[in-house]
Amino acid sequence: NGPVYQSGTLSGNPLAMAAGIATLEVLKQPGFYEELEKKSVYLSQGLAEAAIRSGFSTQIIEISGSDNQSNIKRINSPKDNGDSVCLTRIGSMLCTFFTHRLVTDYQSASTANTDQYSRYFWAMLQEGVYLAPAQFEASFVSSAHTYDDLDRIIEASERAFASARG
């Protein structure tokens, strides 16, 4: 009824509706988003430490809270050779940029070294960690990730950061 046409593969499908309702019930559980935030912070901190151990200076931009306040941490590697990584995280979304600049928009993101990201991407793939193939896309932490999963990603990233340096 009405002037708006709408269709889709699973529109009104009972199985899709049941899955949607079940998902909403999980999302409403007390502490769900707080635990997701803890896992996301754990991963971004672990990636930063792995990058530093691999010789990258690292910057982390974390945007959190209801007022979207930015928290910026700069960590220089003791083995600093001019290579830098900027990790940008908001909630459970994380981007890894190979650049010395703070990445806050498309213009600053476009300064990133895509060759280094490509080497990092392929090294992570060899480790069994599937990332977005372009550094302009986000990675996501989900409630299904365990801390063991996150530790495995962090360990793999240290080897991948070393590969990215060439």
One-letter identity of residue 69: Q
Residue 87 inside a domain? The answer is yes
Residue of 47 and 67 predicted with greater confidence:
47
**All residues at 6 or more sequence positions from 36 whose CB lies less than 8 Å from its CB, including other chains:** 91, 92, 141, 142, 143
Biggest CA-to-CA distance, the chain: 66
**Residue in the block written with tokens 């476009």:** 110
Can you give the CATH number for the domain in which 94 is found? 3.90.1150.10
Residue 17 inside a domain? The answer is no
Q: CA 151 to CA 46: how far, in whole Å?
A: 8
From residue 145, give the alpha-carbon distance in Å to each of 77, 117, 120, 162.
28, 23, 21, 25
Q: Which tens digits make up the pLDDT trace of 102-152?
A: 888 899 999 999 999 999 999 999 999 999 998 889 999 999 999 999 999
- φ and ψ of 7, to 5 deg: -150, 165
**Residue-range definition of the domain harbouring residue 114:** 31-164
Residue 157 inside a domain? The answer is yes
Arithmetic mean of pLDDT, 12-38: 93
Q: What is the number of domains present in the chain?
A: 1
